[in-house]
Amino acid sequence: MKLIDYLRIWLACARYSVVRTMMFRFDFIMWALVEFVWMAVNLLLIQVVYDHTDSIAGWSKYEMLLLVGSSMIVQRLIMGFVWTNLFEMARNIRTGHFDFFLAQPGNPLVMVSTRKIDLDGLANVIVAIAVVLFAINKLGLVPSLGELVLYALMIGCGVLINYSILLITVSLTFWLGAAQGIEGSYFTLMEFSRLPRQAFKGVASILFVWFLPAVVVSNVPANTLIHGFSPLNALWLLAVTLIWTTFAIYVFNAGLRRYASASS
């Protein structure tokens, strides 16, 4: 299949998701509000902490707000575009309904990852962007168009890294038969993305800054707006993105080779 064919399929799936969501408007509003409250609690926590201190690991209140906002953008995009798809993938592997995706003419990974979108998750992307813009204003920053484009590209890298980690986690279902408990580890890991890199020392720095990509997904984009473009940070983020995306595809394909379909 050509790229344009995948785009047409995705647009059809997106249209179906929107129509289906509008059929259950109350559910959409309720879950959007739940996610909004969760975000508000995190922002309130920053206010409470900075009522007692002026700096955390060298980050001021509004710098931290920019960091957390960047993390929220990445997570809301993940929740909007791929979380439901990959969560259902694990269930379909267990039940044998994954055959449906194997019978389609497109790449199984693309088809399974793009079937649905969640508007409640995407709705709060706007809130997260507003948080970032508010922080930029309070810091007195005037980022250039180039810096904003770089920021957006780095956020895109963060989305790919999060997608890769989630895909690896869910792909373990091919071997384990279930991944409910393991899926929760993704959220635990991503909690660290709301912390500044400088807060990690010793073993924690090695584990969460260099080995696992929990910190890089938000720190590098936020630093680009606060301190300007850093080629070293950009290369670090790009390398992490390529490594984890490649590894995630490898794990998925390895699991696919051992998948026992419903017909078998």
Give residues with Cβ within 8 angstroms of 174, minimum separation 6. 93, 254, 255, 256, 258, 259
Asked if residue 98 lies in contact with residue 89, where contact means CB atoms within 8 angstroms, the answer is: yes
Q: How would you classify residue 239: left for phi > 0, otherwise alpha for psi between -120 and 50, otherwise beta? A: alpha
Number of DSSP helices (H) and strands (E) in the chain, helices first: 13, 0
User: What value does the mean pLDDT take over residues 91-101?
Assistant: 79
Taking residue 129's Cβ as centre, other Cβ atoms within 10 Å add up to 16
Residue 127 has pLDDT above 70, yes or no: yes
User: What value does the mean pLDDT take over residues 232-254?
Assistant: 93
pLDDT digits (tens, 9 = 90+) for 163-210: 998 899 888 888 876 656 666 667 777 777 888 888 888 887 777 777
DSSP state of 32: H
Q: The whole model's pTM is what?
A: 0.88
d(CA 178, CA 173) in angstroms, rounded, equals 5
Here the tokens at position 129 are 């962007």
pLDDT value for 248:
94
pLDDT value for 217:
87
Q: What's the whole-number average pLDDT of the chain?
A: 84
Residue 103 has pLDDT above 60, yes or no: yes
Asked if residue 225 lies in contact with residue 143, where contact means CB atoms within 8 angstroms, the answer is: yes
- The percentage of the chain sitting over the pLDDT mark of 70, rounded to a whole number, equals 94
